[in-house]
Chain A
Amino acid sequence: MSTMVSGLQDACTQSQQIFRHILGAMAEPGRTFDLENLEAPTGLNSAAWQACLALADLDTKVWIEPTLRTDASIEALRFHTGCPYTEQAAEADFAIVGPALSTPLSTFDQGSDEYPDRSCTLIVQLDSLAHGEPLRLEGPGIDTERSIAVDGIGAEWVAQWQSNRAAFPCGVDLILTAGHQLMALPRTTRLSLITESVSKEATCTSQ
């Protein structure tokens, strides 16, 4: 019998703190938030694990990309959140994925015009929230524009994100995670590549 990660010591307070960070991240797209350095089950980074602990419950189906899936993570997820685990990406309320886009964003639940809030939220596991291609963010929660460079989020993400934007008010939201840090890209945020020629200027004008 393998041992189980402990989960939250003070579920009520800690899950609210995590939730508050996610709320802040959604309100300020592209801003990095530091969570506690909580032990996560094999296969999940700490921030993704904490997001699951705060968001997933009995009524939310969770799906994990095959390359990230481990018995330990599924067991811990079901044990601590009570969430039903699904084998179908399309029916997930929360999906944990890597940067490879092996499952296109359009596969996930987009919500409906009546209930756009019921779309899937993707928790993206990355190596780092820095060291990537420079990207420009614009939209609600951003004064003029903000630039990020997240490892693994490149041109293909930008292309799929534009289709996601076009489906508004439907579409998925992203929580980008690395280590115990997270950042959010809600469906309202516009994402574009900062090409080499203008990147310097963009960096200067962004905050």
Chain B
Amino acid sequence: MYVAVKGGEQAIDAAHCWLADNRRGDRSIPVLRVDQIREQLRLAVDRVMTEGSLYDPELAALALKQSSGDPIEAVFLLRAYRSTLPRLYGTKPMESSDMSVRRRISASFKDLPGGQVLGPTYDYSHRLLDFTLLADAETDPNSADAGVQSAAMADETVEPCPKILELLNREGLIEAASAARPASDEPEVPGDLTRDPLSFPAPRDVRLQALARGDEGFLLALAYSTQRGYGRNHPFAGEIRSGDVAVEIVPEELGFPVVIGDIEVTECDMINQFSGDGTTKPRFTRGYGLVFGRSERKAMAMALVDRALRARELGEEAESPAQDEEFVLAHCDNLDASGFVSHLKLPHYVDFQSELVLLRRLRAEYEDRKAAQAAQAEADRTTYAGRQNKPDAVLTEPQS
């Protein structure tokens, strides 16, 4: 347990001052503007928005600037800011089928309605450092890029892209996106772990919320573990799409939905191994990932882990870490995790002093015991030596 302490204000001020200076770096280099981060480090911005659980590219860029580029510190800043704003509405569920697609691929079907649209992807880049980026730092980007932009524009827009898994669903080859419910059910309000603390077993809506804001590294490692055999679920990337989706709210005073804007999201539908128990026809199962921006790796990892967490529901043995709901959900939030790890830096002087006292006592007791044993051994040796001269003495075990 940590204790409250006082003092150190001057030292803290000096540390913050130096931190700000460090953040600024060499003054001969122009200062980095927030809009530059927003526009040019957008995947970092996307990650901070996703894990910060707040879609606002400008604030995420600001958080990255303030945190010297530390994504978890930036997530912390964003979550803290979020807590100062009132929640005004819950949106209607976004309809990703209506997405203005920027990228849309399937690894399960070669030919599909709407086609394979690569979009702005790193997938086919050679991972060779591009030294022109180093050299071109001072050139005017507008002149060069305008040409590229018009050359890379097709005559037609992207055709409508139906959801691939729905095509499979029409044939009954895959389970429905979620369990069928009677239409008479009230409009559902999904569980919200920012209002009600996690409890186990958690329903899938709450699990998905936790995964959506979960740490990319942690989920990526868990997803990888399922592929390496720790809860294998035989995945295919059924469909990955990125693009803008309209966000609608239904204001009380209007009574009908209105679009408040479009946000960029990425979603991943995994097609996973069959289920079926003799009484039902075998069919594919699903895992789902949805994130802000273009955090595609995170969306894929989320889909794999979502599927792994459905093990029990689908009648599978749940023995691996990725299938252990409590293990995954309780540890996937990087703010929780870094908070608890970092708290070890808080003053634990009293706790530690008591441990020290205990340790010293134990060591003293150990020394005493050793000394007693040595004395006993010495005594025994003397006795034994004496006994050599008294053959009828009773031989006893030395006391421990």
* A204 lies within 8 A of chain B by Cβ: no
Interface of A is mostly: loop
**B-contact 0/1 string along A52-79, CB 8 Å cutoff:** 0000011100000000000000000011
Task: Judge whether B252 and A58 touch: CB under 8 Å.
Answer: no
* A7 lies within 8 A of chain B by Cβ: no
Q: List 14 A-B contacts (CB under 8 A).
A: A58-B86, A58-B87, A58-B88, A58-B89, A58-B90, A59-B87, A59-B195, A78-B252, A78-B253, A79-B252, A79-B253, A82-B88, A82-B89, A82-B252
Could you say which residues of chain A place their CB within 8 Å of the CB of B195?
A: 59
Interface residues in A, total, Cβ within 8 A = 6
Could you say which residues of chain B place their CB within 8 Å of the CB of A57?
A: 86-87
B257 → chain A, closest Cβ, in Å?
16
Q: Which residue of A lies closest to B87 (CB)?
A: A58
Q: Which of A74-97 contact B (CB under 8 A)?
A: 78-79, 82
Could you say which residues of chain A place their CB within 8 Å of the CB of B90?
A: 58
Could you say which residues of chain B place their CB within 8 Å of the CB of A82?
A: 88-89, 252
Q: Which residue of B lies closest to A84 (CB)?
A: B252
Distance, CA A59 to CA B252, complexed state (A):
14
Distance, CA A57 to CA B252, complexed state (A):
13
Number of A-B residue pairs, CB cutoff 8 Å, is 16
Interface residues in B, total, Cβ within 8 A = 8
Q: Which residue of A lies closest to B196 (CB)?
A: A115
Distance, CA A30 to CA B87, complexed state (A):
32
Kindly list 10 other residue pairs between chains A and B, CB separation below 8 angstroms, not including A59-B87, A78-B252, A79-B252. A57-B86, A57-B87, A58-B86, A58-B87, A58-B89, A58-B90, A59-B195, A78-B253, A82-B88, A82-B252
Distance, CA A94 to CA B89, complexed state (A):
19
Could you say which residues of chain A place their CB within 8 Å of the CB of B89?
A: 58, 82
Distance, CA A57 to CA B87, complexed state (A):
8
Distance, CA A175 to CA B366, complexed state (A):
63
Could you say which residues of chain B place their CB within 8 Å of the CB of A78?
A: 252-253
Q: Which residue of B lies closest to A57 (CB)?
A: B86
Q: Which of B64-89 contact A (CB under 8 A)?
A: 86-89
Q: Which of B33-86 contact A (CB under 8 A)?
A: 86
A72 → chain B, closest Cβ, in Å?
14
Could you say which residues of chain B place their CB within 8 Å of the CB of A58?
A: 86-90
Q: Which of A105-135 contact B (CB under 8 A)?
A: none
Q: Which of B182-236 contact A (CB under 8 A)?
A: 195
**A-contact 0/1 string along B227-252, CB 8 Å cutoff:** 00000000000000000000000001
